[in-house]
């Protein structure tokens, strides 16, 4: 089987018309190049060039081999380039974490990732923000769409405008609660609050705010997933649930009603977080910045 490197060297010699010039173009010494040519001639069993002083000319056999060698080398190069192209466009995995607290808010980003990256496999991890921070630090996700971490060292953040608070109030409390209502007023009712699995977050902020106002909140339950709290209300449990207004939808059964909170504490702060040392993700960065621009208008 003909050696591709020898064929490439042979073609360079014919193209340059000189072994010395070919050696210069190939950035190798002349003696090794002459040896490769001799090896090729030995392999095919016939002289391939005629040496006239410092110049060379192909023999009839050499001219035929040169033409075929050029075709072979072009085919090999085309195969190489197409292989690289396929490798670069192979399905890649984009690993995205989404906080339970902002699933509806961040849904447009997830949808755009799906639409704009048809060859990518998008792995979504939905969990609470404390777990997302852990997954980021372990390198198990590429980006986390979550509540702003209190300790943001080592993270690169894209911060979105704060989201106002909305209260979901059991219909049985309708006559005793004004709309809008003050947080202090709601704090006297049974409450189901969001709480992250580890660390401090919105749960501690609400308790601290109410206690400073002289109210000992009646927290009946705390959960990490808002859908659990909403299902509790839908099942007839009498309570108040405090959520970002982006996550609130009308009750299908009419068993709770959304109420505005005034003044709305700006405690819900969504961010896109990545490790500061992580590689850029241009397909995601563009979507995040467009999403930020659309929300910065309000």
Contact assessment for residue 114 and residue 284, using Cβ atoms and an 8 Å cutoff: no
The pLDDT of residue 63 is: 92
The tokens for 22 are 């070919």
CATH 3.40.190.10 intervals, the chain: 93-161+269-296, 165-260
Dihedral over alpha carbons 131, 137, 141, 143 (to 10 degrees): 90
The pLDDT of residue 158 is: 93
The pLDDT of residue 175 is: 84
Fold of 93-161+269-296: D-Maltodextrin-Binding Protein; domain 2 (3.40.190)
3-class SS at 225?
coil
Q: What proportions of the chain, in percent to the nearest 5, are helix, strand and coil?
A: 45, 25, 30
The pairing of beta strand 143-147 with beta strand 49-52: unpaired
Domain spanning 4-89: CATH 1.10.3720.10: no
The tokens for 66 are 């040169």
Whole-angstrom Cα distance, residue 193 to residue 204? Answer: 10
The pLDDT of residue 53 is: 78
Fold of 165-260: D-Maltodextrin-Binding Protein; domain 2 (3.40.190)
| Tens digits of residue pLDDT in 89-121 | 556 788 999 999 999 999 999 999 999 888 788
The pLDDT of residue 86 is: 63
**Cα–Cα–Cα angle for 171, 177, 180, nearest 5°?**
110
Contact assessment for residue 284 and residue 93, using Cβ atoms and an 8 Å cutoff: no
CATH 1.10.10.10 intervals, the chain: 4-89
The tokens for 61 are 């056999």
Closest residue by Cα to residue 194 from 170, 214, 167: 167
Tokens 């979507």 belong to which residue? 287
| Tens digits of residue pLDDT in 16-60 | 999 999 898 888 899 998 999 999 889 889 999 998 878 889 999
- Spans in the chain with pLDDT lower than 50: 298
């Amino acid at each position: 089987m003909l050696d591709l490197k020898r064929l490439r060297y042979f073609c360079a010699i014919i193209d340059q018309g000189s072994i010395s010039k070919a050696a210069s173009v190939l950035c190798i010494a002349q003696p090794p190049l002459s040896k490769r040519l001799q090896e090729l001639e030995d392999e095919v069993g016939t002289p391939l060039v005629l040496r006239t002083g410092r110049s060379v000319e192909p023999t009839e056999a050499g001219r035929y081999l040169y033409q075929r060698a050029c075709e072979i080398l072009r085919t090999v190069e085309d195969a190489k380039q197409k292989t690289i192209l396929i490798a670069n466009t192979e399905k890649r995995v984009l690993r995205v974490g989404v906080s339970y607290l902002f699933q509806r808010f961040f849904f447009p980003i997830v949808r755009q990732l799906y639409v704009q990256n048809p060859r990518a496999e998008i792995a979504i991890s939905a969990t609470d923000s404390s777990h997302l921070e852990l997954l980021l630090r372990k390198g198990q996700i590429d980006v986390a769409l979550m509540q702003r971490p209190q300790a943001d060292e080592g993270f690169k953040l894209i911060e979105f405008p704060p989201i106002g608070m909305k209260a979901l109030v059991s219909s049985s409390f309708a006559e005793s609660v004004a709309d809008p209502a003050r947080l202090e007023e709601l704090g006297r009712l049974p409450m189901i609050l969001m709480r992250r699995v580890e660390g401090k977050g919105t749960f501690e902020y609400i308790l601290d705010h109410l206690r400073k106002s002289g109210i000992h909140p009646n927290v009946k339950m705390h959960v990490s997933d808002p859908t659990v709290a909403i299902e509790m209300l839908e099942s007839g449990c009498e309570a108040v649930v405090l959520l970002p207004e982006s996550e609130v939808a009308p009750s299908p059964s009419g068993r709770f009603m959304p109420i505005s909170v005034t003044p709305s504490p700006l405690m819900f702060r969504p961010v896109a977080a990545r490790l500061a040392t992580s590689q850029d993700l241009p397909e995601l960065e563009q979507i995040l910045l467009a999403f930020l621009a659309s929300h910065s208008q309000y």
